[in-house]
Amino acid sequence: FFCTEADVGNNRVDSCLHKIKELNHYVKVEKAGLDMTDLTKLKDYTVVLATELSYSDQNKLDSYCR
């Protein structure tokens, strides 16, 4: 629901980031590069949104976050 026709061809994170930030100004929202070899960098996050990952990387991320 955050992307419009104007966002077609753009990176999904870049297209949605400002719209997600507008949901609650008291919540810190940032774009972070994801290094699948070192997921410990995610330990300080409460919520992780990921796009365009392979199925195996999705499973790896899911296992780490749980």
Length of the chain: 66
Give pLDDT, residue 15: 85
pLDDT digits 0-9 by tens, 6-61: 889 888 888 888 888 999 999 988 887 788 898 998 888 888 888 888 999 999 99
Place of tokens 């409460």: 46
Alpha-carbon distance 26 to 23, whole Å? 9
- Quick one: average pLDDT of 1-5? 81
Residue 48 structure tokens = 């992780």
Residue 11 structure tokens = 């990176």
pTM of the model: 0.67
What amino acid occupies position 66?
R
Q: Is 63's pLDDT higher than 90?
A: yes
